[in-house]
């Protein structure tokens, strides 16, 4: 529950703002934004069976730790792809992998919950974990990030002790990356079994 709550908080801090960044900051056409979302979903569908087999064979911890490292890389397109229509195709091409990494994370968490929750109360345990992680942590973090973006979207965020002025969305993405670092020690204590 601790891992799932921290992961959801750190992930949801930025997740809701990816399409907004593309539409409002990059002024990307809606077609490319939708193609990016579809590419994520296709990656999720293709990655789930593969990581399910890996989790069953080698345990969920290795899948989780792989996905945590990979999910840090999945934010790079939002920092590195220039605001140029010639490069918009890179978003769906690269974020297809993000969907695969999302599948790995979901499979690893679900595998641990199914394996270690008591059989008679499994549904209740999983429901409570999801309620705490998604219902509480997953609602608080985008609200906080939304307040931040609302305040700094026009002016940008002045980085303390420097002359830099960050795009508000980039500041949210960096904060999310920093928050995600807390997931690494939590994932090493996750129970893990394989065949």
Q: How many CB atoms lie within 10 A of CB 10?
A: 22
Closest CA to 105 of 175, 33, 180: 180
Confidence of residue 171 (pLDDT cuts 50, 70, 90): very high
Phi then psi for residue 95, to 5 deg, are: -80, -5
Confirm if 154 and 177 have CB atoms less than 8 A apart: no
pLDDT one-digit tens code per residue, 84-107: 899 999 999 888 898 999 999 888
Mean pLDDT of 76-85: 85
Q: What is each CA distance from 43 to 24, 58, 94, in whole angstroms?
A: 25, 22, 10
Confirm if 191 and 52 have CB atoms less than 8 A apart: no
Phi then psi for residue 157, to 5 deg, are: -105, 115
Segment among 29-38, 71-80, 161-170 with least mean pLDDT? 71-80
Helix axis angle for 90-116 and 2-15, nearest 10°, is: 160
Confirm if 107 and 60 have CB atoms less than 8 A apart: yes
Q: How does DSSP classify residue 159?
A: P
Rounded CA separation 51/34 (Å): 25
The larger pLDDT score, comparing residue 186 to residue 50, is at 50
Confidence of residue 191 (pLDDT cuts 50, 70, 90): low
Residues ≥6 apart with Cβ < 8 Å to 153: 24, 168, 169
Number of H helices, E strands in the chain: 10, 2
Read out DSSP for 118-136?
Answer: -STTHHHHHHHHHIIIIII
Rounded CA separation 108/49 (Å): 12
Residue 26, both tokens: 């990059």
pLDDT(169) > 70: yes
Confidence of residue 140 (pLDDT cuts 50, 70, 90): very high
pTM comes to 0.84
pLDDT one-digit tens code per residue, 9-65: 998 999 889 999 999 989 999 999 999 999 999 999 999 999 999 988 988 888 988
Phi then psi for residue 64, to 5 deg, are: -65, -45
| Residue count of the chain | 195
């Amino acid at each position: 529950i601790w891992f799932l709550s921290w992961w959801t908080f750190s992930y949801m801090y930025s997740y809701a703002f990816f399409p907004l960044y593309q539409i409002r900051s990059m002024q990307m056409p809606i077609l490319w934004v939708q193609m990016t979302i579809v590419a994520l979903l296709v990656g999720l569908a293709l990655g789930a069976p593969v990581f399910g087999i890996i989790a069953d064979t080698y345990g969920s911890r290795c899948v989780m730790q792989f996905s945590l490292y990979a999910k840090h890389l999945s934010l790079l397109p939002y920092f590195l792809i220039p605001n140029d229509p010639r490069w918009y195709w890179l978003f769906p091409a690269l974020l297809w992998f993000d969907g695969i990494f999302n599948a790995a994370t979901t499979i690893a968490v679900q595998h641990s919950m199914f394996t270690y929750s008591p059989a008679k109360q499994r549904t209740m345990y999983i429901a409570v974990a999801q309620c705490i992680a998604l219902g509480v942590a997953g609602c608080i973090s985008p609200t906080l990030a939304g307040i931040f973006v609302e305040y700094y979207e026009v002016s940008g965020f002045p980085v303390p002790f420097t002359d830099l002025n960050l795009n508000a969305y980039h500041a949210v993405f960096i904060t999310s990356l920093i928050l995600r670092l807390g997931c690494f020690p939590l994932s090493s204590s996750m129970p893990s079994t394989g065949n």
